[in-house]
Structure 1
Amino acid sequence: MKKSLALFLSIIVIFLSVFIVGCDSKESKNNQKEVVVTDLLGREVKIKENIKRVVAIGPGALRLYVYVGDKEKIVGIEEFEKKNLKGRSYIIANKELMDLPVIGLGGPNNPPDLEKLIAVKPDVIFTTYPKDKQEADNLQSKTGIPVVAISYGKGALFDSAVNESLKLIGKIVNKEERAKQVVDFIENTKKDLEKRTYNIKDEDKPYVYIGALGMKGIHGIESTQGKYPIFTVLNIKNVADETGKIGSVMIDKEKLVEWDPPIIFIDLGGLEIVKQDYSKNSKFYDSLTAFKKGNVYSQLPYNFYGTNIDTALVDAYFIGKIVYPEKFKDINIKEKADEIYKFFVGKELFDKMQEDFGKLDKLNLKF
């Protein structure tokens, strides 16, 4: 009888132990810590506290992540990111990303590939694709993966949406200090550029034009921008502001003759088109004061699948040095550029950028 009772009690103890361990395991699994974040579309998204696997899709999403997060957590990239690396410092400096699985075509007009996204099992999807909450919710619902919308805003360069996106990425992947450093770097650069030029008298500010800017493709000298962010932060008079438009605008060449700005910048992305046009219409170009006096300069292209913020800041210092040489006489462009690239992507890439596009320098189209 005593043996039977002892055996019965032993069985009860074993059963209770298994039950308790099982409950603890289930509770541990079900109660994995989560955080709730609000994305750039105002959506509240539940995310695991310890993120280990990440993907970033849509124009500029991967770039913003690379500026802040651990590259080792990225588990796949879009095919578009593997094509034509020219100008994209975040990929050039981290070519190991090219070996990752493809998670979709990518590009501004291609929707996310649900099957490929699910296949790499990310803990979170950062994306710039959704135009509204419904699109983001649909992607999250169909994949079963938390979707966090990030954004470059309307202006991209010095837009508060960029800073908020960087901070959000930092919070989610436990890189808040790095995110703060990046945001501070951008803001301090903006302050430095403004401080150097804010007190220049209006009569001492020359009118300037920027042409051949990329806009869903490459264009000639007619392609420009109203309220060009680099000109704005440098307190430069932009002749294209007369159009009353903000952002990309195509002007008539006759308008450029009418404006006749003393300084012209040409984006190196469209330089070949400008050269071809010059060979056919040299009289037009030679009638412009900037061309007559040799005041035509280059700019590195910084818009390609979103804004390459590092390159835009390099351009800002170069343009400032050309338009207001006395205010930027302490700036060595190569040193400043390499400082900027190294901070954002970990490598000094100024020589590589010039090798790919051409030099930041005075331009001579008479060949």
Structure 2
Amino acid sequence: MLSFRYAGLLTAASIAALTLFVLTAGCTGTDTGSALVQSGTGQTAAVTDGFGRTVTVPSPPESVVCSGSGCLRYLVYLQAQDLAVGVDDQEKKDQPMEGRPYALAYGSQFKNRPLIGELRGKDDPEKILGIGPAVVFKTGSTGTSYSTSAVDADKLQGRTGIPVVAFAYGSLRNDAEKAEMYAGLRVMGEVLGREDRAEEVIAYIEATIADLENRTGDIPEAEQKTVYIGGVSSAGAHGIISTEPAYPPFAWVHAKNVAAGLGTAHADVAKEALVDWDPEYIFIDLGTTQIDGGGAIGELKNDRALQGLSAAKEGRVYGVLPYNFYNVNYETILADAYFIGKTLYPDRFADVDPEKKADEIYTFFVGKPVFADHNSEYRNLGFAEIPL
């Protein structure tokens, strides 16, 4: 079903063993578990969510709502988008630039759903109660102003009387945040009865990262390219100084991120530092183009100091599709990594067409090949050299 090296990394025997383990042991990886019982209205399950709360949910639920940045994305990954009976106001906006592949695939469907509250988990309990979902999923990114917690989940559950299953959103920036992401997928899959799909998504991510690392892992350190990612969104669009010191694609393809060492979270760097670093390649997160004047691209064109960067002068500035847009677009990170890898080390990715690879990845995660539609919103600057 999956191309490139996925089939080689996951043999038929290992897939069968994985499936058997999931079915017999739950395979949540985070001590979550469910105990089925009979109630007057049907079967229910006691589930341990991402914050250690035990929540009794209908099993499986016939309807759900998703609260918080990125929560609905996970529902799409698990191929359960038809269960969503309400959405927050982020899903109802008409935006000239839609940075979320799942919304490109199912936006018209979601726009027609009733409103549950505002974006970033600002729920309206009365609206949720009026819709009456069987379960509420709630998530947010740890350490941000829009994170969620056991207290938030208990409060919403207490005000609605509806089971609330909460978890941290996670990321792929480090092992701890990756574990959060996988735990969130697993607990949502457990509630929905889609454990197999959750494990399939996790296995796909692991196999994709392994493929990227295997292609480039033997490049000597002295031959690894120096790189920078600018214009990274974080609760909105930002300019050239906005970066990710632990930008996952750079790590996966063994490129030297000049901003490494500034932590793992989003960071703003001084322009003087960027000029001093003078990376060989600059990648621009096209979420920046939402800013008047073109954001990071406009800065590279018009700022004299930045015009002196080697990458700007020598035509090594490239566009990648948005990393963060209402939380992390995991499918886009993986797709971007193949383009970055081929740009830096073309001989290691000679068999890869980045656009076709992106559509393969998008189809796996969101069910539709949305690369062309996604890229057209950003003037087709994705996976291309940006003319300055």
Range of TM-score over shorter length: 0.7 to 0.9
Q: In structure 1, what is the equivalent of residue 328 of structure 2?
A: 307
Paired amino acid for 1:230: P
Deviation at 1:31, TM superposition (A): 7.1
Distance in structure 1 (CA, Å) of the matches to 2:256 and 2:332: 22
Alpha-carbon offset, residue 175 of structure 1: 1.5
Structure 2: gaps of 5 or more residues: 1-36, 141-146
Residue 18 of structure 1 corresponds to which residue in structure 2?
none
Q: Does 1:132 align with 2:138?
A: no
Partner residue, 1:227? 246
Equivalent in 145, 150, 157 of residue 167 of structure 2: 150
- Cα contact 1:39–1:168 (8 A) shared by 2: yes
Structure with greater Cα Rg: 1
TM-superposed CA distance for 1:286, in Å, is 2.8
Instruction: Tell me which protein shows more helix as a share of its residues.
Output: 1
* % identity of equivalent residues: 39
**Among 315, 320, 327, the residue aligned to 1:294:** 315
Cα distance in 2 between the residues matched to 1:256 and 1:31 = 62
Contact 1:239 1:259 (8 Å CA) reproduced: yes
Report how far residue 33 of structure 1 moved. 2.6
CA distance in 2, matches of 1:37, 1:234: 38
> Between Structure 1 and Structure 2, how many residues are aligned?
335
C-alpha separation in 1, matches of 2:42 and 2:163: 15
2:115 partner amino acid? V
TM-score, with structure 2 as normaliser: 0.82
Is residue 274 of structure 1 aligned with residue 286 of structure 2?
no
Amino acid at match of 2:299: D
Shift of 1:147: 0.5
What is residue 363 of structure 1 aligned with on the other side? 386
Q: CA deviation at 1:301?
A: 0.8
**Residues 338 and 348 of structure 1 are in contact (CA less than 8 Å); yes or no, is this contact kept in structure 2?**
yes
8 Å CA contact retained: 2:242, 2:269? yes
Give 1:63's aligned residue: 73
The aligned runs of 1:100-119 (5 Å cut-off) are 100-106=113-119, 108=120, 111-119=122-130
SS in 1 for 2:338: helix
Residue pairs, 1:1-367, within 5 angstroms = 30=40, 32-83=42-93, 84=95, 86-94=98-106, 95-106=108-119, 108=120, 111-129=122-140, 131-153=148-170, 155=172, 159-242=178-261, 244-271=262-289, 272-281=294-303, 283-357=304-378, 358-359=380-381, 360-365=383-388
Distance 1:194 1:183 in 2: 17
Task: Give the AA of the match of 2:135.
Answer: V
2:357 and 2:38 map into 1 onto residues whose CA distance is 50
Deviation of 1:289 after TM superposition, in Å, equals 1.1
Cα offsets for 1:25-84 (capped at 9, x unmatched): xx9753733211111111111111231011111000011011104222211111111212
DSSP-derived class of the 1:93 partner: helix
The answer as to whether partners of 1:69 and 1:173 remain within 8 angstroms in 2 is no
Cα distance in 2 for residues equivalent to 1:274 and 1:138 = 41
Question: Matched residues in 1 for 2:174 and 2:129: separation?
Answer: 32
- C-alpha distance in structure 2 between counterparts of 1:89 and 1:29, whole Å: 39
Q: Distance in 1 between matches of 2:183 and 2:220?
A: 34
* 1:240, distance to aligned residue in structure 2 (A): 0.3
TM-score with structure 1 setting the length: 0.86
SS in 2 for 1:75: coil
Gaps spanning 5+ residues in structure 1: where? 1-26
Query: Aligned AA for 2:198?
Result: A
Is the alpha carbon distance of 1:104 and 1:156 closer, same or farther for their aligned partners in structure 2, counting shifts above 3 Å? farther
The Cα shift of 1:279 comes to 4.7
Q: 1:124 & 1:334 partners in 2: Cα distance? A: 37
What SS does the aligned partner of 2:151 have? helix
Residues in 2 aligned to 1:164 and 1:147: alpha-carbon distance in whole angstroms = 16
Tell me which amino acid in the other structure corresponds to 2:65: V
Moved more, 59-68 or 351-360: 351-360
Q: What does the per-residue CA deviation read over 1:184-232, in whole Å, with 9 as the maximum and x for residues that have no partner?
A: 1111111111111111111110111111111222222111121222212
Query: Which residue identity is paired with 1:363?
Result: I
Indicate the larger mover: 222-231 or 57-66: 222-231
- RMSD after superposition: 2.0
| CA separation of 1:78 and 1:157: change in aligned 2, threshold 3 A | farther
